[in-house]
């Protein structure tokens, strides 16, 4: 495997964090899509408790907070993202009900049935879709909602270049009907599923990275790890452009039965 085809998961996490910390969001998505997903959730009030797991620096969390009234806790493994998250909450005057904490998604400290809503954009793959749905369920009240985005196949068959790339990066990638069935099998009523529009990748994820990449390469001139990290990000963007008919991010929204 040459460096360009290395997946993001194979690089040092601190380097990845530093690179992504200069961006408003760390995965594909958009404010419009966050608001659209929220429109399927009808159990919220100013007493609600919401968690955003793998929140990063909080791009989507702040949108969520601006469209809900309850308390919101963002959880991420990386202190730098949580520092930025809490700064962003303060800048928006949301610090009294929005708080970021450093915690791992496989060792969450929520109490059983504490939450009305679990949110997670572009992050559940770190624990795995099925495992995340199953393990996080106990933190939700009955009738509570989960809303996650997950990379998914659009077709049953794919060209081998993209098939092999994603199976190597995330073996749990699957088609939308199979992901919905997994949600149902884990004890949720699948409430809504929709594909994120292309601009969630191009305009909101890859375009801002072009500037970040130049800055990062300048800061770390001659650093071969940084050069390969950037090469792999550029390669991923090129693959998306070439094969976007075959895969994308999908919002899966379920209600705990």
Residues forming contacts to ligand SAM in the complex (CB under 6 A) are 25-27, 29, 54-56, 59-60, 75-78, 81, 104-106, 121-123, 126
C-beta closer to ligand SAM: residue 211 or 218: 211
Phi, psi at residue 230, to the nearest 5°? -65, -40
Answer yes or no: are the C-beta atoms of 30 and 53 closer than 8 Å. Answer: no
Chain centroid to CA 108: how far?
Answer: 17
DSSP letter at 56 equals T
Query: Least Å distance between CB 53 and ligand SAM?
Result: 6
C-beta closer to ligand SAM: residue 177 or 235: 235
Query: Least Å distance between CB 98 and ligand SAM?
Result: 14
C-beta closer to ligand SAM: residue 42 or 106: 106
Query: Least Å distance between CB 210 and ligand SAM?
Result: 17
Non-local CB neighbours of 69 within 8 Å, separated by 6+ positions: 44, 45, 46, 48
Phi, psi at residue 52, to the nearest 5°? -115, 110
C-beta closer to ligand SAM: residue 76 or 116: 76
Alpha-carbon gap, residue 22 to 41, rounded angstroms? 31
Answer yes or no: are the C-beta atoms of 55 and 80 closer than 8 Å. Answer: no
Query: Least Å distance between CB 193 and ligand SAM?
Result: 18
C-beta closer to ligand SAM: residue 125 or 188: 125
Answer yes or no: are the C-beta atoms of 61 and 34 closer than 8 Å. Answer: no
C-beta closer to ligand SAM: residue 78 or 216: 78
Instruction: Name the strand (E) or helix (H) holding 254.
Output: strand 247-256
User: 3-class SS at 20?
Assistant: helix
Q: What is the C-alpha radius of gyration for the chain, rounded to an integer number of angstroms?
A: 18
Query: Least Å distance between CB 72 and ligand SAM?
Result: 13
CA-wise closest residue to 234 among 24, 19, 12, 55? 19
Query: Least Å distance between CB 156 and ligand SAM?
Result: 26
């Amino acid at each position: 495997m040459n460096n360009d085809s290395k997946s993001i998961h194979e690089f040092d996490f601190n380097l990845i964090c530093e690179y992504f910390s200069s961006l408003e969001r760390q995965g594909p998505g958009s404010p419009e899509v966050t608001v659209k997903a929220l429109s399927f959730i009808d159990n919220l009030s100013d007493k609600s408790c919401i968690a955003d797991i793998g929140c990063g620096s909080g791009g989507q969390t702040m949108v969520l907070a601006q469209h809900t009234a309850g308390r919101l806790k963002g959880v991420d493994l990386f202190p730098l993202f949580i520092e930025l998250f809490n700064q962003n909450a303060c800048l928006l005057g949301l610090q009294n009900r929005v708080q970021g904490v450093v915690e791992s998604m496989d060792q969450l400290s929520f109490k059983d049935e504490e939450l009305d809503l679990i949110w997670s954009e572009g992050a559940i793959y770190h624990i795995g879709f099925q495992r995340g749905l199953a393990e996080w369920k106990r933190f939700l009240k009955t009738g509570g909602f989960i809303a996650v985005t997950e990379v998914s196949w659009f077709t049953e068959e794919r060209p081998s270049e993209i098939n092999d790339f994603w199976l190597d990066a995330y073996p749990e990638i699957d088609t939308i009907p199979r992901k919905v069935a997994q949600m149902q099998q884990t004890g949720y009523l699948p409430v809504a599923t929709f594909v994120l529009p292309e601009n969630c990748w191009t305009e909101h994820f890859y375009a801002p990275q072009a500037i970040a990449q130049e800055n990062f390469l300048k800061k770390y001139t001659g650093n071969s790890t940084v050069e390969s990290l950037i090469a792999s990000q550029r390669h991923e963007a090129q693959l998306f452009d070439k094969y976007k008919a075959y895969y994308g991010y999908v919002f899966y929204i379920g209600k705990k039965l």
